[in-house]
Amino acid sequence: MLKRIALIIAICLCQLVFSGSVSAAETYHTVKSGDSLWDIAIQYGTSVEKIKQLNQLSSDNLQIGERLCVKVTSDQKPAATPIIEAGATYYVVQSGDSLWKIAQQFGTSVEKIKELNQLSSDNLQIGLKLCVANASVQAAPAPATQPAAAPIENTAPPVPTDNYYIIQPGDSLNSIAAAFNTSVVMLKRINNLTTDVINPGCVLKLSLEDSEVSRGGSAVNNSITASILNTAMQHLGTPYRYGGSAPGGFDCSGFVKYVYSQNGYNLNRTAASQYSQGTPVSKAELQLGDLVFFCCGSSSIDHVGIYIGNNEFIHSSSPRSGGVIITNLGESYYLNSYAGAARIVQ
């Protein structure tokens, strides 16, 4: 009898230990109003892809009250270390990796990794074995362990290097634009972004570079033109104000005068007089930073904007149009009222 009781107790203890280990190994989150897979992944130090895999989700849509498995301890593996085979160095892609992050870790470049592995895009699959250095170029060994990331504070992003910024967890286009004195529209435009969604580890270009500005001209002029365009883009969305020539509100010539004054040029106050200050250029010869003029309300020049490429110009339009906006020269209203162009930066 005593043996039977002891056996039953032993079985119960085994069951308790087993169930406890399963419970301890899995972490769950109950979806609340406002939650997204991205928010939950950041909260638990995992990835959207991992959560979707654990819960067999086929979309990012969530239901309030839904219970999600967000982490399985037994499924976590130590950080991968470099693999040396036949003199070449390899690395196995982990969750959250990007080509830029791996290149930094092994002291190489994204282009070199793509060349060694014949990659045509930056997309990576978890578990993919990448060659990060061939036999003739040995990469620096990756550390066996890496320190835990410091808590994210509500501070401005770190200073960028060479006009680029690495996106941090918790960043948004709005916060980056505010920190680096630019605009969301500018960031999206120069990075070819079609949405406001950004991912940690990706790299953003913060402003136009000299080489992107002009088909010709000196490096000095290109630098000035790039600065003019960056200044103009920072004021997208500023309301229209008749007679305005400051960031609180602009009319068309006030906007152009302000942008150029921030870059060392003292332009006249009206659109017509600004036209007389520059060197006339044909529409076919337009370069970035040139001024484009229109006769909108009469037979004389009464509107001006700054050409930004791709047949578009930035200008302070009207209260109804949204103030400082970007418009295509091909729009019928401006196509029919186009009066000419002038180059200020020679």
| CATH value at residue 102 | 3.10.350.10
Active site residue 252: yes
| Furthest C-alpha separation in the chain | 112
Residue 247 lies in a domain: yes
Q: Report the sign of the C-alpha dihedral through residues 251, 254, 260, 263, in that order.
A: negative
- Tell me, yes or no, whether 230 and 334 share the same domain: yes
The model's pTM: 0.48
Domain-embedded: residue 256: yes
The Cα–Cα gap between 227 and 207 comes to 9
Q: Which two tokens stand for residue 239?
A: 């309301």
Tell me which DSSP letter residue 327 carries. E
Cβ–Cβ under 8 Å, residues 93 and 126: yes
Q: HSE of 270 in the Cβ direction (CA atoms, 13 Å)?
A: 7
Q: Is residue 330 assigned to a domain? A: yes
92 and 124 both lie in a single domain: yes
Amino acid in the structure at residue 328: N
Cβ neighbour number for residue 99 with a 10 Å cutoff: 21
Domain limits for position 168? 164-205
DSSP-derived letter for residue 144 is S
Please state the rounded mean pLDDT for residues 4-21. 46
219-259 pLDDT, tens per residue? 446 778 888 998 998 898 899 999 999 999 999 999 999 99
Residues 334 and 224 in one domain: yes
Q: Per residue in 251-297, pLDDT tens?
A: 999 999 999 999 999 999 999 999 999 999 999 999 999 999 999 98
Question: Which of 29, 131, 235, 252 is the catalytic position?
Answer: 252
Is residue 314 in some structural domain? yes
Q: How far separated are the first and last CA of the chain, in Å rounded?
A: 104
Query: Mind listing the pLDDT tens digit for each residue in 163-217?
Result: 788 888 888 888 888 888 777 777 887 787 878 888 887 888 887 765 555 444 4
Report the C-alpha gap between 341 and 294 in whole angstroms: 9
Contact in structure between 346 and 273 (CB atoms under 8 Å):
no
Number of separate domains in the chain: 4
Write out the two tokens for 217.
């001209």
29 is catalytic: no
Q: Say if residue 233 is in the same domain as residue 303.
A: yes
Catalytic residue among 12, 14, 29, 303: 303
